[in-house]
C-alpha cells in the first residue's frame, strides 16, 4: 500500500483538471481514471490526453508523479439513463429541479469502480471534483453522500478508503483562483485552452474563459466564475 498515492477521477473538464493539479501537488504517485458511458459528445474525453501531457510539461515533479491513465467503459450507465447527455434532447430543468443531464447515482458508480481499480493498484485515496457550492441539484455531489460512500467502500473492501473533494466548498471563481495558485498563468491558460465543460460539446467557439456554446448551464457557470475571479483579482 502506498500512502502517497491517489487515483483522480479525470474527465477532462475544468473541475477534474484542477483536481488533478491539486493531487499532483501533494501525492507522490497520481493515476487517473476516466469513464466512457456513451456520452452524447466526447469532447471532454478527447481533451484528457492533451491535458495530461501538458500538465507533465508544467512542472518536473508533476511529470515524475503522473502515472498510468485508465479508461473504463460503462455503456450500461448510458443505456440506463434517459438524459440529455445520452440522447438528443434539450438540456432543461426537470420537474425535480434537476438538469435533464442528471444521470441518477452517476458519481456513486464512478467511485465504486474507481475504488475497485485503486484497490488493485495499491491505492486508497480517491479524488473527485464534486462541489456543493455551485450545487446544480445533483444529490450525488453532496459531501454527505460521498463521505458516506467512502465509509461503505471501506467496509465493503475491508480497506481504509478516503474520498478527497478539494472543490467541495469553493465556487467556480475560487476554482480558477486555486488553479492559479497551483500552476500560475500556465495552468490557467491550459484550463482555458484544453479543458472542456460545455454540455453541448461545442469546441468551435472560443471565449475568454475557454470553448463552449456560451449559454448552456455548464458554460454559464464557467463564464460567471471566470468573470468574478477576474474582477476579484483586479484583472478585468
Q: Which residues bind Zn ion (CB under 5 A)?
A: 198, 200, 212-213, 216, 219
Nearest alpha carbon to residue 187 among 51, 68, 41: 51
- As measured in angstroms, the least distance from the Cβ of 110 to Zn ion is 22
Q: How far apart are CA 14 and CA 174, in angstroms?
A: 12
Nearest alpha carbon to residue 27 among 57, 58, 67, 56: 67
Place of cell 469553493: 170
Q: Smaller CB distance to Zn ion: residue 23 or 213?
A: 213
Q: Smaller CB distance to Zn ion: residue 21 or 43?
A: 43
- As measured in angstroms, the least distance from the Cβ of 81 to Zn ion is 20
How far is the CA of 110 from the CAs of 1, 28, 85, 191, 224, in angstroms? 22, 23, 16, 23, 28
- As measured in angstroms, the least distance from the Cβ of 42 to Zn ion is 15
- As measured in angstroms, the least distance from the Cβ of 214 to Zn ion is 6
Residues 227, 236 contacting (CB under 8 angstroms): yes
Q: Smaller CB distance to Zn ion: residue 84 or 126?
A: 84
- As measured in angstroms, the least distance from the Cβ of 12 to Zn ion is 15
Q: Smaller CB distance to Zn ion: residue 178 or 198?
A: 198
- As measured in angstroms, the least distance from the Cβ of 223 to Zn ion is 9
CA torsion sign, 133 to 138 to 139 to 144? negative
**Nine cell digits for residue 34:** 476516466
CA torsion sign, 101 to 107 to 113 to 114? positive
Nearest alpha carbon to residue 182 among 64, 17, 30: 17
Q: Which residue is nearest to Zn ion (CB)?
A: 198
Q: Smaller CB distance to Zn ion: residue 18 or 213?
A: 213
Q: How far apart are CA 206 and CA 198, in angstroms?
A: 12
Q: Smaller CB distance to Zn ion: residue 15 or 164?
A: 15
- As measured in angstroms, the least distance from the Cβ of 157 to Zn ion is 38
Q: Smaller CB distance to Zn ion: residue 168 or 216?
A: 216
Residues 86, 121 contacting (CB under 8 angstroms): no
Compute and round to an integer the Cα radius of gyration of the chain: 17
Amino acid at each position: 500500500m502506498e500512502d502517497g498515492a491517489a487515483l483522480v477521477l479525470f474527465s477532462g473538464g475544468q473541475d477534474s483538471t484542477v483536481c488533478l493539479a491539486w493531487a499532483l501537488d501533494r501525492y507522490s504517485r497520481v493515476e487517473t481514471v476516466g469513464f466512457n458511458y456513451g456520452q452524447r459528445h466526447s469532447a471532454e474525453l478527447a481533451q484528457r490526453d492533451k491535458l495530461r501531457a501538458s500538465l507533465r510539461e508544467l512542472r518536473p515533479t508533476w511529470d515524475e508523479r503522473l502515472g498510468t491513465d485508465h479508461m473504463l467503459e460503462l455503456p450500461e450507465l448510458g443505456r440506463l439513463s434517459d438524459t440529455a447527455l445520452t440522447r438528443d434532447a434539450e438540456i432543461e430543468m426537470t420537474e425535480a429541479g434537476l438538469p435533464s443531464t442528471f444521470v441518477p447515482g452517476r458519481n456513486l458508480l464512478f467511485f465504486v469502480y474507481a475504488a475497485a481499480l485503486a484497490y488493485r493498484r495499491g491505492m486508497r485515496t480517491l479524488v473527485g471534483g464534486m462541489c456543493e457550492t455551485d450545487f446544480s441539484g445533483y444529490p450525488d455531489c453532496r459531501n454527505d453522500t460521498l463521505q458516506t460512500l467512502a465509509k461503505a467502500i471501506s467496509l465493503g473492501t475491508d480497506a481504509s478508503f478516503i474520498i478527497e473533494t478539494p472543490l467541495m466548498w469553493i465556487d467556480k471563481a475560487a476554482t480558477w483562483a486555486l488553479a492559479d495558485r497551483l500552476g500560475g498563468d500556465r495552468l490557467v491558460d491550459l484550463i482555458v485552452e484544453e479543458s472542456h465543460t460545455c454540455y453541448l460539446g461545442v469546441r468551435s467557439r472560443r471565449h475568454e474563459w475557454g470553448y463552449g456554446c456560451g449559454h448552456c448551464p455548464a458554460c454559464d457557470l464557467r463564464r460567471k466564475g471566470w468573470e468574478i475571479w477576474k474582477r476579484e483579482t483586479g484583472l478585468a
